[in-house]
Every structure is written in structure tokens, then in C-alpha cells.
Amino acid sequence: MTAGIDDIAIYIPRLYIDASDFAKARGLDPEKLQKGLGVAQMAIVDTNQDPACLAANACLKIMQKNKLSPESIGRLYVSTESSFDESKAMNSYVIGMLEQVYGQGAFEHCGGVETKFACVSGSYALYDNTNWIRAGEAEGKYALVVVSDIAKYDMGSSGEMTQGAGAVVMLLNDKPRLLAFDPKVTSTSIKDEYDFYRPFGKETPIVHGQYSNLLYMIQVRKALEAYKKKVISSQLIKLEPGETILDHIDFLNMHLPYSNMGKKALAYLVRHEWRQLPRWKKIIQSIGIEEPIPKDPRGTIESVLGDQEFMAKDHAFTKLFTKTSEFQEVYEAKLSSSLIASKMIGNLYTASLYLGFRSSLEFEFQKGIDLAGKRVGFGSYGSGSSAMVFSGVIQPEYKEIVKDMNLESEIGERRKLTLNEYEELHENKLGPEESMVHSKHEFVLVDVKTDAEFRGERRYVFNA
């Protein structure tokens, strides 16, 4: 049975901090920040927002747009790494908010859980619900998979320049207008790692940046290798001599902790895929230097990162490689459009991959490209760590969804924060009643109880 994404919607907080202002305040070079990381603005949550209300607002948007009733929704999953409750699942908060609009008990038939595996959990939730539909369990109902996060780092840390917030919701069914997933080829790679994690009681993560970046690329590469074996054995794709699996993927979407990480990951995967092909010899000749090899090619990530001579040479080689016409052609055709939204919004953790997909659809369509029949590849990564690689084909009816996409209008009018305002928000110095944007037609947080018997209970209202 066919299953896939019928529609997609986003909800992004309308407060943001300008990356140039932030860089100057932190004594950084604004140009280097924007060129090195690809960050222009970072979305920041208001005092009356949390990941649950971001998710609920995204869900409400997609239901209203498609004129859906609660009876038509069979499942509602929320994937996040910004959970504020160690027991109660975030999807129950979301259902509680939606029932303020649709009526008490309107979603009581709707199954679902909160899923967690850092930034990859949304992909696992998508896979689970796709298979629910394929198995015939949906019985004509839709599934809502919403990925919602607030990427927040310690003030003054290197991660502080890669923050962001938002939610992306995907509406799944058995007759998708947007994207049908390729069956039986989804592949994963998983291992126990401490590249990025957030212990109980800590609001911000502990990050080992270089280690995590390299681990991300290695894990996605391993998942890609497994994906390649599956698509070949299933005869979904036939590779001719001299071809790579990436030649058969029209658009790529990568996990984006910051937009330029997508380009780095693509360069890593392309180098790995092209290295054994005839085209590589020509590329090496045009670069003018051989590809560097670490002293211990089979060593640990720590040994590779500790090999300073190799790291310096590899950085120089990658820089030259990404300037070659061969790589630029792949980058512009397959990836670049997916990075535009990330530059405007920042890191969304679980939602970053799907914001990239949403971005790619809008901006490739604007180029006048006929997207029907194009294969989209997804390289999903979550620290801790796991990667998932999967694909799907854009459906003939895609224009019904994509023609009205406009990122700026969907975000709405934004307010730029001063550095002092940002720092007050970051340090939680303001209460829900002190919000900076007074919005209508959306859910907001109004109270978090502090007394012992009801500590942590949250109350939300819908501002009509």
C-alpha cells in the first residue's frame, strides 16, 4: 500500500535575533559567522511559548487548511528533544489544546506517543506511522507527525550561535499528494555515543561539537551504504557502471544543526561515493593535490580528530573540493534550496530536516522545475547516536500543496530582539504574562504551577 506525506505545515516563533547583532555582541566576526555556519537569523520563543504549543499551533494550521475533523485523524505523534515532562507525553498536551478548538473528547480515539532520539526521532515516528498506514491499520484515517523543538545552548558557549525554535507537522495518508515513501529501503545505523546529550534537570545540552559533526557524517554514511544495498537488491534503482546512488537522488535533505553543516555532510558523502569511480581521477587532477589519509585510517574518531596534520590537510582539501564544478553542480541541483529556511530560522533539532524538505519544495518550485516523479533522499541524524536514510517520490498532485507555499508569509511579521531582550528570555527572567508579541488565533502558555501538589502542571489557552 502506498503511504506518504499528503501535506506539510510549519509554525515558527516570530521573535528572532539577528546573527550580525549577536556576533558583534559576542566579539565575533559577523561575516565569518554567516559564511562559516550559514546563520542569518535565529528564531527565539516568547515567554508564553513552549514546544507543546508550537506543536499544537502547527497541527491546528494543517487541520484548518485541509478542513479536517478530529474523526479523520487516527494517530498523533510528537517527536522532540525539548520535553519538559519525564512521564506525560507531549502529544497529550497537544491534544488538550486542540480540544479547546474542536471540543472536549474530540481526539480521545487518537493514538500516539512522544518519541525521543535527539534529532532523528521524527524520522522514526514518520517510519512507524507510514507502516501503520501500509499495514491497513489506518482504515482511511490520517496520521499527524509533528516535530517540535527549542534549540537552546548555554550563554557564551560555541553552540549559542546555532539556536532556533519551531515545529513542522506532516499529514500522512495512503493517497499522498506530496510525497510517497519508497517501501522496504529505509536504513539505519545506531551506536552508544556521548557526542551531544542533556542530563535530567539540565535545560541546555552538553556538546562535543567536532566529535558530533564527524560522528553525524560517519553514521549517515553507514546508513547510506545499507540503503544502497536495499535499493539495488529490491531493484528500486539500477546502478550502471560508473554511477553512484546519489546520481539517482534528485533532491537531498540533510539534518541541519546549522545550514552549512548540510553542505559539509554532502561533501563528505559525495567524496565517499565518488572515490572509487572514474570521475574521481579527473577531480583530483583539477584540485591539484591528493586526498589526505589519516595516519590511522581505521582508528577511532578521537584519533582522527587528534591527527592535527590530517585535519588541517583535510580541511584544505574539502575547501578545494567544494569549489570544483562537479561538486557545485550536485550542491546547487540537489541541496542548496533546502538550506534557505535554516538560514532564516536556525536550528530546530528534530524539525530541522523537515524544515529543509519544506524549504526545498518551495524554492525548487520557484525555479520552474517540474517536481513530479523526482526522488527525494533524506539523511537524518540524532546524537547519541543514530542515523536513518530513506527516500520518496514526489507525486503528480504536488502542485496543489506547493503552489501556495510562502515561507515569509507563513512565519508572519517578525520582531527583532535587542541583545538585552534576548538575554532576558534566555535566562527565563520573564513570566508567561510578559510576552513580547501579542498574537491571535493560536495557542499560548499562560501558567506553570509551582505549588508542591500540582508542580509542573501547565495551562494553555487559545487566543481567538
Per the structure block, which three cell numbers stand in for 236? 528500486
Q: What is the per-residue pLDDT for 383?
A: 98
Q: CA 249, 255, 259, 260 torsion: positive or negative?
A: negative
pLDDT in tens, 6-57: 999 999 999 999 999 989 988 888 887 788 899 999 999 999 999 999 999 9
Q: At what angle do helices 279-287 and 308-321 cross, to 10 degrees?
A: 100
Give dist(CA 288, CA 305) in Å, integer. Answer: 24
Share of the chain above pLDDT 70, in %: 100
Give dist(CA 290, CA 272) in Å, integer. Answer: 14
Query: Could you please report the per-residue DSSP string of 364-433?
Result: HHHTT---TT-EEEEEEEETTTEEEEEEEEE-GGGHHHHTT--HHHHH-S-EEPPHHHHHHHHTT-S-GG
pLDDT in tens, 382-396: 999 999 999 999 999
Beta strands 142-151 and 73-79, pairing class: parallel
3-state secondary structure of 187: strand
Q: CA 146, 62, 138, 103 torsion: positive or negative?
A: positive
Say if CB 418 and CB 216 are below 8 A apart.
no
Tell me phi and psi for residue 307, to 5 degrees. -85, 85
Residue 127: which H helix or E strand, with range? helix 121-134
CA-to-CA separations, 378 to 198, 251, 286, 335, in angstroms, rounded? 25, 9, 30, 11
Give dist(CA 323, CA 415) in Å, integer. Answer: 36
Residues in the chain: 464
The single residue listed with the C-alpha cell 532576558 is 424
In the chain, which residues have pLDDT < 50?
none
Q: What is the per-residue pLDDT for 256?
A: 97
Q: What is the per-residue pLDDT for 137?
A: 97
Residue 102: which H helix or E strand, with range? helix 90-102
pLDDT in tens, 111-127: 999 999 999 999 999 99
Give dist(CA 293, CA 272) in Å, integer. Answer: 13
Give dist(CA 46, CA 27) in Å, integer. Answer: 26
Q: What is the per-residue pLDDT for 356?
A: 98
Per the structure block, which three cell numbers stand in for 99? 480540544
The end-to-end CA distance of the chain, in Å, is 40
Angle at 11 between CA 112 and CA 426, to 5 degrees: 100
> In 198-331, where does DSSP find H-type helix?
209-233, 259-274, 279-287, 301-306, 308-321, 325-330
Q: Give the bridge partners for 180, in sequence order.
A: 4, 393
Q: What is the per-residue pLDDT for 35?
A: 83
Q: Give the bridge partners for 8, in sequence order.
A: 170
pLDDT in tens, 94-111: 999 999 999 999 999 999
Torsion (CA) 150, 153, 156, 162 in degrees, nearest 10: -60
Say if CB 299 and CB 311 are below 8 A apart.
no
**How many Cα neighbours within 13 Å face the side chain of 258?**
21
Task: Classify each residue of 370-390 as buried b or exposed e, where b means 16 or more C-beta atoms within 10 Å of its C-beta.
Answer: ebeebbbbbbbbbbbbbbbbb
